[in-house]
């Protein structure tokens, strides 16, 4: 805490000793010098300083600043040694005389300087019988401004009118000092309009011509802050901005301070979605497109197969149908057909899931067929592939080559050949194919990565062909 020392000069008799100045150890002191005249004789005073000599012999000289009410104020540092120094505090003045010459170090007044330990009476200097005390064991009947005592166990000081808690020293600061301290700490909430709305975007904050606080127009100053609801430079997040003013300047700029978090999920931007439906509120599987409204059929498990010729023409779907109330052992695997011409959907085959023996068995008149091919003999062999079929070729050990026989092309028709080649031997046979237009057999390119990966065991391959 800062201990004030109040000194009043006698302008008519500058050599008259001043009242003794008293402070505490461990505390800096604010020296208030009152009664400084504007002139000394024929020269004008331009500056005032306070020179102190402490009980330990150390010295300091600090410049004083004149406040609005004419009082000169200087702060001298703390000391740790208590005691008393005769003529230890001097008030000095600088100025310009009538000849324009500089005057420095003119002594306006001298006072004894005492430093006391808080609550302890310092020993008088040799030859002294008594001197003024600052701290009182009992509350004085006629206290002086600045006196300190204990009242009901609490340390208090006298401000000239009443006893106040010792921490409240604002009475000893000038109005300018108080205003400066407030300006450094005060922060006002700036809004977009008088109604108190926040700024919708960062651009709205930076380009605003008028700012508001508490419903009134305000020019932003240091530490004022505002909220941007959707900051376009921060991925649309809500951010707090602060008005930053560099030291020594009066005009600043808005700078982002930190993002504003929220515990309200409904207030979040960019909520997650499922199937294009935002996850907000109480949503059912049907709301999110997981299950349709027709008996609880699962849309995401539909597998469509198209057939364009013969009696099987139409669209086929493989799907799982639930009972609409639970997913536990109450489901049916269905193959349904949408016949050509848009007729009603027909269930081709169905089976409950799971089957009692843990296996599934499902047969239906589907356009894709199985074409099993077994090559039991060794040496060269052929395999006639069927269109729109799963061609399962099992080649015994000793088979040295296999020629895939494709059926003749049909103009304008696209053909698909799905092949599952099982090589039972340890050597991979050479693979050939006959040209679909009826030409001779051609070997597959061994440098092609697709054929280089063929190995003993199961190999899966797919051929597509369109004849124009």
Which of 211, 242, 270 is the last residue before a domain boundary? 270
Give the pLDDT score at 165.
77
User: Distance between the two ends of the chain, CA-based, in angstroms?
Assistant: 99
Give the pLDDT score at 358.
41
Which of 145, 171, 197 is the last residue before a domain boundary? 171
Mean pLDDT of 313-318: 59
- With 70 as the cut, is the pLDDT of residue 333 above it? no
| Confidence at 169, pLDDT banded by 50, 70, 90 | very low
Closest CA to 354 of 328, 324, 323, 388: 328
Which of 221, 236, 270 is the last residue before a domain boundary? 270
- With 80 as the cut, is the pLDDT of residue 348 above it? no
pLDDT tens-digit series, residues 22-76: 888 877 888 988 888 888 878 889 999 999 999 888 999 999 999 888 889 999 9
Instruction: Give domain status of residue 180, yes or no.
Output: no
Q: Please indicate, yes or no, whether residues 11 and 141 belong to a single structural domain of this protein.
A: yes
Give the pLDDT score at 327.
41
Q: Please indicate, yes or no, whether residues 405 and 451 belong to a single structural domain of this protein.
A: yes
Give the pLDDT score at 280.
78
Least confident range from 100-114, 317-331, 381-395, 402-416: namely: 317-331
- With 90 as the cut, is the pLDDT of residue 192 above it? yes
List, as own/partner pairs, every contact residues 128-135 make where C-beta atoms lie below 8 angstroms and the sequence separation is at least 24, other chains included: 128/84, 131/20, 131/84, 132/19, 132/20, 132/22, 133/22, 134/22, 134/23, 134/24
Instruction: Give domain status of residue 279, yes or no.
Output: no
**Token reading at 77:** 């540092």
Least confident range from 77-91, 99-113, 437-451: namely: 437-451
Instruction: Give domain status of residue 204, yes or no.
Output: yes
Answer yes or no: are the C-beta atoms of 413 and 466 closer than 8 Å: yes
Give the pLDDT score at 299.
36
Instruction: Give domain status of residue 179, yes or no.
Output: no
pLDDT tens-digit series, residues 407-418: 877 777 777 888
Rounded distance between C-alpha atoms, residue 417 and residue 462, angstroms: 6
Mean pLDDT of 281-295: 62
Mean pLDDT of 248-264: 81
Element (H, E) at 217: strand 216-217
| Confidence at 340, pLDDT banded by 50, 70, 90 | low
Q: Please indicate, yes or no, whether residues 326 and 444 belong to a single structural domain of this protein.
A: no
The parent domain of residue 20 ranges over 3-171
pLDDT tens-digit series, residues 217-238: 999 988 889 999 999 998 888 8
| Confidence at 406, pLDDT banded by 50, 70, 90 | confident
Rounded distance between C-alpha atoms, residue 225 and residue 255, angstroms: 9
pLDDT tens-digit series, residues 193-225: 999 999 999 999 999 999 999 889 999 988 889
Instruction: Give domain status of residue 33, yes or no.
Output: yes
The CATH number of whichever domain residue 57 belongs to comes to 2.60.40.3350
Q: Classify residue 204 as exposed, middle or buried by CB count within 10 Å of its CB (0-12, 13-18, 19+).
A: middle
Give the pLDDT score at 74.
92
What average pLDDT is seen over the chain?
A: 75
Give the pLDDT score at 37.
85
In eight-state DSSP terms, residue 448 is S
Instruction: Give domain status of residue 247, yes or no.
Output: yes
Q: Please indicate, yes or no, whether residues 349 and 382 belong to a single structural domain of this protein.
A: no
In eight-state DSSP terms, residue 424 is -
Which residue stretches of 369-409 are H helix?
none
Q: Please indicate, yes or no, whether residues 7 and 127 belong to a single structural domain of this protein.
A: yes
Give the pLDDT score at 376.
85
Please, what's the b/e burial string for 136-149 (b: 16 or more CB within 10 A of its CB; e: otherwise)? eeeeeeebeebbbb
Rounded distance between C-alpha atoms, residue 80 and residue 124, angstroms: 17
- With 50 as the cut, is the pLDDT of residue 121 above it? no
Give the pLDDT score at 201.
95
Mean pLDDT of 284-295: 58
| Confidence at 300, pLDDT banded by 50, 70, 90 | very low
Give the pLDDT score at 234.
86
Give the pLDDT score at 206.
93
- With 70 as the cut, is the pLDDT of residue 159 above it? yes
**3-state class of 460 per DSSP?**
strand
441, β-bridge pairs: 434
Give the pLDDT score at 313.
52
Please compute Rg for the chain using Cα positions.
50
- With 70 as the cut, is the pLDDT of residue 318 above it? no
Least confident range from 42-51, 258-267, 291-300, 348-357: namely: 291-300
Q: Please indicate, yes or no, whether residues 389 and 452 belong to a single structural domain of this protein.
A: yes
Mean pLDDT of 75-90: 88
Q: Please indicate, yes or no, whether residues 149 and 200 belong to a single structural domain of this protein.
A: no
Element (H, E) at 86: strand 83-96
Give the pLDDT score at 138.
65
Closest CA to 173 of 23, 2, 396: 2
- With 60 as the cut, is the pLDDT of residue 103 above it? yes
Mean pLDDT of 300-311: 45
Q: Please indicate, yes or no, whether residues 289 and 264 belong to a single structural domain of this protein.
A: no
Answer yes or no: are the C-beta atoms of 315 and 341 closer than 8 Å: no
Instruction: Give domain status of residue 177, yes or no.
Output: no
Q: Please indicate, yes or no, whether residues 259 and 400 belong to a single structural domain of this protein.
A: no
Instruction: Give domain status of residue 176, yes or no.
Output: no
| Other beta carbons less than 10 A from residue 420's beta carbon | 16
Q: Please indicate, yes or no, whether residues 35 and 142 belong to a single structural domain of this protein.
A: yes
Q: Please indicate, yes or no, whether residues 115 and 10 belong to a single structural domain of this protein.
A: yes
- Compute the C-alpha angle 58/62/64, nearest 5°: 150
Count the domains in the chain: 4
**Token reading at 378:** 């060794």
Give the pLDDT score at 322.
56
Q: Please indicate, yes or no, whether residues 142 and 239 belong to a single structural domain of this protein.
A: no
**How many CA atoms does the CB half-sphere of 46 hold within 13 Å?**
10
Give the pLDDT score at 124.
47
């Amino acid at each position: 805490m800062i201990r004030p020392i109040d000194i009043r000069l006698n302008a008519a008799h500058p050599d008259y000793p001043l009242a003794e100045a008293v402070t505490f150890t461990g505390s800096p002191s604010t020296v208030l010098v009152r009664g400084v005249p504007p002139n000394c004789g024929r020269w004008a005073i331009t500056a005032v300083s306070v020179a102190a000599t402490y009980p330990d012999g150390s010295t300091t000289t600090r410049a004083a600043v004149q406040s609005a009410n004419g009082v000169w104020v200087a702060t001298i540092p703390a000391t740790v040694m208590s005691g008393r120094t005769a003529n230890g505090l001097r008030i000095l003045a600088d100025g310009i005389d009538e000849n324009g010459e500089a005057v420095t170090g003119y002594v306006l007044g001298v006072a004894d300087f005492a430093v006391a330990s808080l609550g302890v009476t310092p020993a008088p200097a040799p030859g002294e019988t008594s001197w003024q005390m600052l701290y009182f064991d009992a509350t004085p009947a006629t206290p002086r401004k600045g006196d300190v005592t204990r009242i009901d166990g609490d340390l208090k000081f006298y401000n000239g009118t009443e006893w106040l808690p010792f921490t409240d020293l604002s009475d000893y600061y000038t109005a300018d000092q108080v205003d400066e301290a407030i300006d450094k700490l005060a922060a006002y909430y700036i809004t977009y309009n008088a109604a108190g709305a926040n700024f919708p975007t960062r651009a709205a904050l930076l380009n605003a011509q008028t700012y508001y606080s508490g419903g009134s127009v305000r020019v932003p100053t240091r530490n004022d802050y505002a909220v941007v609801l959707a900051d376009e430079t921060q991925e649309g997040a809500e951010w707090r901005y602060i008005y930053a003013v560099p030291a020594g300047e009066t005009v600043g700029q808005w700078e982002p301070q930190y993002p504003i978090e929220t515990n309200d999920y409904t207030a979040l931007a960019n909520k997650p979605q499922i199937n294009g439906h935002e996850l907000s509120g109480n949503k059912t599987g049907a709301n999110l497109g997981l299950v349709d409204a027709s008996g609880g059929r699962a849309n995401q498990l539909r597998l469509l197969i198209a057939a364009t010729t013969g009696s099987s023409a139409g669209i086929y779907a493989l799907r799982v149908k639930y009972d609409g109330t639970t997913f536990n052992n109450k489901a049916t695997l269905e193959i349904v057909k949408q016949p050509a011409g848009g007729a009603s959907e027909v269930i081709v085959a169905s089976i409950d899931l799971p089957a009692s023996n843990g296996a599934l068995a499902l047969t239906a008149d589907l356009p894709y067929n199985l074409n099993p091919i077994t090559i039991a003999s060794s040496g060269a062999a052929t395999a006639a592939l069927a269109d729109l079929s799963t061609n399962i070729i099992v080649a015994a050990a000793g088979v040295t080559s296999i020629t895939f026989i494709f059926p003749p092309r049909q103009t304008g028709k696209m053909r698909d050949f799905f092949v599952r080649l099982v090589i039972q031997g340890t050597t991979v046979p050479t693979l050939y194919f006959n040209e679909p237009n009826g030409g001779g057999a051609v070997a597959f390119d061994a440098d092609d990565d697709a054929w280089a990966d063929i190995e003993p065991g199961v190999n899966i391959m797919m051929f597509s062909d369109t004849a124009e």
